[in-house]
A = this chain, B = another copy of it.
Amino acid sequence: MTEAVARSVRQPSMADVARTAGVSAQTVSRALRDSPNVNPETRRRVLDAVDQLGYRLNNAARVLSSGRSFTIGLVLLQSGGYYSRSAVTAGVEAAAGHAGYAVNIATIAGLDTGLMERALSKLADQGVDGIIIAVPLISVTQKMEDITRDIPTVTLDGSRTAGARVLGIDQLEAGRLATQHLLDLGHRQVWHVSGPDEWIEARQRLQGWRECLAAAGIEAPPALEGDWSPDSGYRQGQIIAMIPDVTAVFAASDEMAFGIIRALRERGRSVPEDVSIVSVDDIALAAYCSPPLTTVRQDFYRSGQAAVELLLDPDGANASVVPASLSVRSSTAAPRSH
Protein backbone atom coordinates (compact mmCIF):
# COMPACT_ATOMS: atom_id res chain seq x y z
CA MET A 1 0.00 0.00 0.00
CA THR A 2 1.37 3.38 -0.96
CA GLU A 3 1.95 5.71 1.90
CA ALA A 4 1.51 9.41 1.28
CA VAL A 5 4.97 10.87 1.09
CA ALA A 6 5.73 13.08 4.04
CA ARG A 7 6.20 16.40 2.34
CA SER A 8 7.12 19.69 3.93
CA VAL A 9 3.75 21.00 4.99
CA ARG A 10 2.78 24.43 3.78
CA GLN A 11 2.70 26.93 6.60
CA PRO A 12 -0.84 28.10 7.30
CA SER A 13 -1.69 31.45 5.79
CA MET A 14 -4.03 34.17 6.79
CA ALA A 15 -6.66 32.70 4.51
CA ASP A 16 -6.48 29.42 6.45
CA VAL A 17 -6.97 31.25 9.69
CA ALA A 18 -9.87 33.15 8.17
CA ARG A 19 -11.52 29.94 7.08
CA THR A 20 -11.11 28.32 10.47
CA ALA A 21 -12.43 31.36 12.29
CA GLY A 22 -15.26 31.82 9.84
CA VAL A 23 -14.32 35.39 8.86
CA SER A 24 -12.53 37.08 5.99
CA ALA A 25 -8.78 37.37 5.66
CA GLN A 26 -9.03 41.09 6.06
CA THR A 27 -10.69 40.71 9.43
CA VAL A 28 -7.91 38.40 10.51
CA SER A 29 -5.39 41.00 9.50
CA ARG A 30 -7.25 43.65 11.45
CA ALA A 31 -7.64 41.46 14.51
CA LEU A 32 -3.91 40.71 14.57
CA ARG A 33 -2.92 44.33 14.29
CA ASP A 34 -5.41 45.44 16.97
CA SER A 35 -7.23 47.67 14.65
CA PRO A 36 -9.95 49.42 16.69
CA ASN A 37 -12.97 48.27 14.73
CA VAL A 38 -13.03 44.62 15.54
CA ASN A 39 -15.62 42.96 17.68
CA PRO A 40 -13.91 41.48 20.78
CA GLU A 41 -15.74 38.22 20.21
CA THR A 42 -14.51 38.04 16.63
CA ARG A 43 -10.99 38.84 17.69
CA ARG A 44 -11.11 36.00 20.17
CA ARG A 45 -12.26 33.58 17.51
CA VAL A 46 -9.43 34.72 15.27
CA LEU A 47 -6.82 34.36 17.99
CA ASP A 48 -8.13 30.91 18.79
CA ALA A 49 -7.80 29.90 15.17
CA VAL A 50 -4.27 31.29 15.12
CA ASP A 51 -3.36 29.21 18.12
CA GLN A 52 -5.02 26.13 16.76
CA LEU A 53 -3.27 26.28 13.41
CA GLY A 54 0.04 27.50 14.75
CA TYR A 55 -0.23 30.40 12.35
CA ARG A 56 2.76 32.67 11.92
CA LEU A 57 2.54 35.93 10.06
CA ASN A 58 4.56 35.93 6.87
CA ASN A 59 6.85 38.87 7.23
CA ALA A 60 7.86 39.08 3.58
CA ALA A 61 4.28 39.37 2.48
CA ARG A 62 3.61 42.04 5.04
CA VAL A 63 6.64 44.01 3.97
CA LEU A 64 5.73 43.70 0.33
CA SER A 65 2.20 44.88 0.72
CA SER A 66 2.70 47.47 3.42
CA GLY A 67 5.95 48.91 2.17
CA ARG A 68 7.43 48.89 5.66
CA SER A 69 9.89 46.29 6.83
CA PHE A 70 9.95 46.96 10.57
CA THR A 71 13.64 46.38 10.42
CA ILE A 72 16.43 48.80 11.13
CA GLY A 73 19.95 48.39 9.90
CA LEU A 74 22.99 48.84 12.09
CA VAL A 75 26.41 49.53 10.61
CA LEU A 76 29.33 48.54 12.79
CA LEU A 77 33.06 48.36 12.46
CA GLN A 78 34.49 44.92 12.81
CA SER A 79 37.69 45.74 14.61
CA GLY A 80 38.41 47.47 17.85
CA GLY A 81 36.30 48.50 20.79
CA TYR A 82 34.70 45.17 21.51
CA TYR A 83 33.02 46.48 24.55
CA SER A 84 31.46 49.52 23.00
CA ARG A 85 30.34 47.69 19.90
CA SER A 86 28.67 45.04 21.91
CA ALA A 87 27.01 47.46 24.29
CA VAL A 88 25.75 49.66 21.50
CA THR A 89 24.34 46.65 19.71
CA ALA A 90 22.54 45.51 22.81
CA GLY A 91 21.06 48.96 23.35
CA VAL A 92 19.94 49.24 19.76
CA GLU A 93 18.45 45.79 19.76
CA ALA A 94 16.59 46.36 23.01
CA ALA A 95 15.08 49.66 21.97
CA ALA A 96 14.26 48.39 18.51
CA GLY A 97 12.65 45.23 19.80
CA HIS A 98 10.63 47.30 22.21
CA ALA A 99 9.25 49.30 19.29
CA GLY A 100 8.53 46.18 17.27
CA TYR A 101 11.54 46.44 15.00
CA ALA A 102 14.09 43.83 14.10
CA VAL A 103 17.77 44.67 13.71
CA ASN A 104 19.88 43.82 10.73
CA ILE A 105 23.62 44.08 11.07
CA ALA A 106 26.21 45.11 8.53
CA THR A 107 29.80 44.95 9.70
CA ILE A 108 32.52 46.65 7.78
CA ALA A 109 36.08 45.46 7.98
CA GLY A 110 37.68 48.88 7.97
CA LEU A 111 37.12 52.57 7.49
CA ASP A 112 36.84 52.67 3.77
CA THR A 113 34.24 54.43 1.65
CA GLY A 114 33.86 51.43 -0.62
CA LEU A 115 33.09 49.11 2.25
CA MET A 116 30.76 51.67 3.73
CA GLU A 117 28.88 52.02 0.48
CA ARG A 118 28.52 48.30 0.19
CA ALA A 119 27.23 47.99 3.72
CA LEU A 120 24.64 50.69 3.16
CA SER A 121 23.62 49.12 -0.14
CA LYS A 122 23.19 45.81 1.51
CA LEU A 123 20.92 47.29 4.13
CA ALA A 124 18.99 49.27 1.54
CA ASP A 125 18.53 46.06 -0.43
CA GLN A 126 17.14 44.41 2.64
CA GLY A 127 14.57 47.15 2.70
CA VAL A 128 15.33 48.48 6.16
CA ASP A 129 13.11 51.29 7.43
CA GLY A 130 15.99 53.11 9.04
CA ILE A 131 19.74 52.96 9.48
CA ILE A 132 22.00 53.57 12.43
CA ILE A 133 25.59 54.20 11.52
CA ALA A 134 27.85 53.48 14.46
CA VAL A 135 31.13 54.13 12.68
CA PRO A 136 32.54 57.46 11.63
CA LEU A 137 32.14 58.37 7.99
CA ILE A 138 35.49 59.60 6.89
CA SER A 139 34.14 61.12 3.76
CA VAL A 140 30.68 61.03 2.35
CA THR A 141 30.17 59.85 -1.20
CA GLN A 142 27.30 60.50 -3.55
CA LYS A 143 26.09 56.96 -3.21
CA MET A 144 26.02 57.28 0.56
CA GLU A 145 24.09 60.50 0.26
CA ASP A 146 21.61 58.83 -2.06
CA ILE A 147 20.91 56.03 0.31
CA THR A 148 20.67 58.13 3.44
CA ARG A 149 18.38 60.53 1.69
CA ASP A 150 15.91 57.76 0.94
CA ILE A 151 16.13 56.05 4.29
CA PRO A 152 16.04 57.81 7.67
CA THR A 153 19.48 57.61 9.19
CA VAL A 154 21.05 58.36 12.53
CA THR A 155 24.78 58.68 12.87
CA LEU A 156 26.21 57.71 16.19
CA ASP A 157 29.16 59.91 16.91
CA GLY A 158 30.05 60.25 13.29
CA SER A 159 30.20 62.89 10.70
CA ARG A 160 26.98 63.40 8.84
CA THR A 161 25.41 63.17 5.47
CA ALA A 162 22.86 65.73 4.45
CA GLY A 163 19.95 63.55 5.45
CA ALA A 164 21.19 62.00 8.67
CA ARG A 165 20.52 63.00 12.20
CA VAL A 166 23.41 62.85 14.59
CA LEU A 167 23.55 61.44 18.05
CA GLY A 168 26.69 61.81 20.00
CA ILE A 169 28.27 61.48 23.33
CA ASP A 170 29.83 64.82 24.07
CA GLN A 171 33.41 63.91 23.26
CA LEU A 172 34.73 67.42 23.56
CA GLU A 173 33.44 67.46 27.07
CA ALA A 174 34.92 64.01 27.70
CA GLY A 175 38.35 65.28 26.67
CA ARG A 176 37.97 68.32 28.87
CA LEU A 177 36.75 66.37 31.88
CA ALA A 178 39.70 64.01 31.70
CA THR A 179 42.28 66.73 31.24
CA GLN A 180 40.83 69.04 33.84
CA HIS A 181 40.81 66.24 36.37
CA LEU A 182 44.56 65.85 35.94
CA LEU A 183 45.17 69.58 36.15
CA ASP A 184 43.04 69.78 39.28
CA LEU A 185 45.23 67.17 40.89
CA GLY A 186 48.17 69.51 40.38
CA HIS A 187 49.77 68.20 37.24
CA ARG A 188 51.49 70.91 35.19
CA GLN A 189 51.36 69.11 31.89
CA VAL A 190 49.14 66.42 30.35
CA TRP A 191 50.16 64.15 27.49
CA HIS A 192 47.66 62.52 25.19
CA VAL A 193 47.45 59.24 23.33
CA SER A 194 44.67 59.73 20.85
CA GLY A 195 42.60 57.38 18.74
CA PRO A 196 43.05 57.21 14.96
CA ASP A 197 42.56 60.53 13.26
CA GLU A 198 39.76 59.20 11.01
CA TRP A 199 37.54 58.84 14.02
CA ILE A 200 35.46 61.85 14.95
CA GLU A 201 35.49 60.74 18.57
CA ALA A 202 39.26 60.73 18.52
CA ARG A 203 39.45 64.18 17.03
CA GLN A 204 36.96 65.62 19.45
CA ARG A 205 38.63 64.18 22.50
CA LEU A 206 41.90 65.53 21.23
CA GLN A 207 40.35 68.93 20.76
CA GLY A 208 38.82 68.88 24.23
CA TRP A 209 42.26 68.10 25.64
CA ARG A 210 43.87 70.96 23.67
CA GLU A 211 41.22 73.45 24.63
CA CYS A 212 41.43 72.54 28.27
CA LEU A 213 45.19 72.94 28.33
CA ALA A 214 44.93 76.20 26.42
CA ALA A 215 42.42 77.52 28.92
CA ALA A 216 44.95 76.79 31.66
CA GLY A 217 47.65 78.57 29.71
CA ILE A 218 49.57 75.40 29.00
CA GLU A 219 51.07 74.62 25.66
CA ALA A 220 50.00 71.15 24.55
CA PRO A 221 52.75 68.63 23.87
CA PRO A 222 52.57 66.68 20.61
CA ALA A 223 49.82 64.07 20.68
CA LEU A 224 50.67 60.41 20.17
CA GLU A 225 48.29 58.37 18.04
CA GLY A 226 47.06 54.86 18.75
CA ASP A 227 44.38 52.72 17.11
CA TRP A 228 42.22 52.01 20.20
CA SER A 229 43.85 48.62 20.78
CA PRO A 230 45.71 47.75 23.97
CA ASP A 231 48.66 46.87 21.82
CA SER A 232 48.87 50.33 20.29
CA GLY A 233 48.65 51.78 23.79
CA TYR A 234 51.57 49.60 24.76
CA ARG A 235 53.66 50.89 21.88
CA GLN A 236 52.92 54.52 22.62
CA GLY A 237 53.51 53.81 26.29
CA GLN A 238 57.02 52.69 25.47
CA ILE A 239 57.66 56.07 23.91
CA ILE A 240 56.18 57.96 26.82
CA ALA A 241 58.34 55.96 29.20
CA MET A 242 61.39 57.43 27.53
CA ILE A 243 60.35 60.99 28.24
CA PRO A 244 61.52 61.96 31.73
CA ASP A 245 59.09 64.61 32.86
CA VAL A 246 55.77 63.02 32.06
CA THR A 247 53.51 62.86 35.11
CA ALA A 248 50.08 62.67 33.53
CA VAL A 249 48.62 60.99 30.47
CA PHE A 250 45.16 61.18 29.01
CA ALA A 251 44.42 58.07 26.92
CA ALA A 252 41.58 58.15 24.46
CA SER A 253 40.34 54.70 25.45
CA ASP A 254 40.52 52.35 28.41
CA GLU A 255 42.05 49.58 26.36
CA MET A 256 44.89 51.82 25.26
CA ALA A 257 45.31 53.00 28.85
CA PHE A 258 45.96 49.44 29.97
CA GLY A 259 48.59 49.06 27.29
CA ILE A 260 50.23 52.31 28.36
CA ILE A 261 50.26 51.29 31.99
CA ARG A 262 51.91 48.00 31.13
CA ALA A 263 54.61 49.71 29.12
CA LEU A 264 55.30 52.26 31.87
CA ARG A 265 55.53 49.62 34.56
CA GLU A 266 57.87 47.49 32.55
CA ARG A 267 60.13 50.52 32.47
CA GLY A 268 59.90 51.11 36.19
CA ARG A 269 57.39 53.93 36.20
CA SER A 270 54.57 53.19 38.58
CA VAL A 271 50.98 54.26 38.14
CA PRO A 272 49.70 56.42 39.71
CA GLU A 273 52.76 57.28 41.86
CA ASP A 274 54.99 58.37 38.98
CA VAL A 275 52.45 58.84 36.26
CA SER A 276 48.70 59.40 36.46
CA ILE A 277 46.50 58.01 33.73
CA VAL A 278 42.95 58.87 32.85
CA SER A 279 41.03 57.52 29.90
CA VAL A 280 37.61 57.27 28.32
CA ASP A 281 34.96 54.50 28.13
CA ASP A 282 34.62 52.88 31.52
CA ILE A 283 34.47 49.33 30.24
CA ALA A 284 33.48 46.61 32.66
CA LEU A 285 37.10 45.74 33.42
CA ALA A 286 38.17 49.31 34.16
CA ALA A 287 37.38 48.92 37.84
CA TYR A 288 39.04 45.54 38.20
CA CYS A 289 42.38 45.65 36.50
CA SER A 290 45.37 47.09 38.32
CA PRO A 291 45.16 49.87 39.06
CA PRO A 292 41.45 50.51 38.76
CA LEU A 293 41.17 53.14 36.04
CA THR A 294 40.01 56.69 36.47
CA THR A 295 37.98 57.11 33.32
CA VAL A 296 35.25 59.11 31.65
CA ARG A 297 32.17 56.99 31.59
CA GLN A 298 30.28 56.60 28.33
CA ASP A 299 26.96 54.90 28.39
CA PHE A 300 27.08 52.91 25.17
CA TYR A 301 23.99 50.90 25.85
CA ARG A 302 22.05 54.07 26.45
CA SER A 303 23.51 55.60 23.28
CA GLY A 304 22.27 52.65 21.30
CA GLN A 305 18.82 53.07 22.73
CA ALA A 306 18.85 56.79 22.15
CA ALA A 307 19.86 56.28 18.54
CA VAL A 308 16.81 54.11 17.94
CA GLU A 309 14.56 56.60 19.67
CA LEU A 310 15.92 59.42 17.59
CA LEU A 311 15.49 57.34 14.46
CA LEU A 312 11.89 56.39 15.12
CA ASP A 313 10.73 59.72 16.47
CA PRO A 314 9.10 61.40 13.49
CA ASP A 315 9.53 64.95 14.71
CA GLY A 316 12.52 64.50 16.96
CA ALA A 317 15.38 66.88 17.11
CA ASN A 318 18.09 66.64 14.48
CA ALA A 319 20.83 66.04 16.94
CA SER A 320 21.06 64.90 20.48
CA VAL A 321 23.80 64.37 22.99
CA VAL A 322 24.34 61.77 25.67
CA PRO A 323 26.30 63.21 28.59
CA ALA A 324 29.64 61.85 29.78
CA SER A 325 30.79 61.72 33.40
CA LEU A 326 34.04 61.09 35.24
CA SER A 327 34.60 57.96 37.35
CA VAL A 328 37.51 58.60 39.66
CA ARG A 329 39.44 55.49 40.71
CA SER A 330 43.08 54.81 41.44
CA SER A 331 45.07 55.41 38.30
CA THR A 332 45.33 59.12 39.02
CA ALA A 333 46.90 60.95 41.92
CA ALA A 334 48.58 64.23 42.71
CA PRO A 335 52.07 64.45 41.23
CA ARG A 336 54.92 63.51 43.48
CA SER A 337 56.31 66.69 44.99
CA HIS A 338 59.99 67.13 44.23
Binding site for B on A (CB under 8 A): 54, 56-61, 63-64, 69, 71, 78, 82-83, 85-87, 89-90, 93-94, 97, 102-107, 109, 121-122, 124-127, 146, 229-231, 233-234, 255, 258-259, 261-262, 265, 283-285, 287-290, 292
Contacts and interface: CB of A to CB of B under 8 A. Distances in A.
Contacts of A289: 258, 262, 285, 289-290
A286 to B, nearest CB: 9
Q: Give the most central of A63, A82, A104, A290: most B CB within 10 Å.
A: A82
B288 A258 contact: yes
A258 B230 contact: no
Contacts of A102: 104-106, 122, 126
A288 B265 contact: no
Contact of A63 (B60, B104, B284): B60
Contact of A78 (B71, B90, B283): B90
List the 7 closest pairs (A to B, CB-CB), nearest first.
Answer: A60-B63, A86-B86, A289-B289, A230-B288, A60-B64, A82-B86, A290-B290
A234 B289 CA distance: 11
By secondary structure, the A interface counts as helix
A78 B94 contact: yes
Contact of A261 (B124, B261, B290): B290
Contacts of A78: 90, 93-94
Contacts of A265: 290
A89 B105 contact: yes
Contact of A103 (B82, B105, B229): B105
A117 B22 CA distance: 29
28 contacts: A57-B125, A59-B63, A59-B125, A59-B126, A60-B60, A60-B63, A60-B64, A60-B69, A64-B64, A71-B104, A78-B90, A82-B82, A82-B83, A86-B86, A89-B105, A93-B107, A102-B126, A229-B284, A230-B284, A230-B285, A255-B285, A258-B285, A258-B288, A262-B289, A265-B290, A289-B289, A289-B290, A290-B290
A288 B234 contact: yes
Nearest to A85: B86
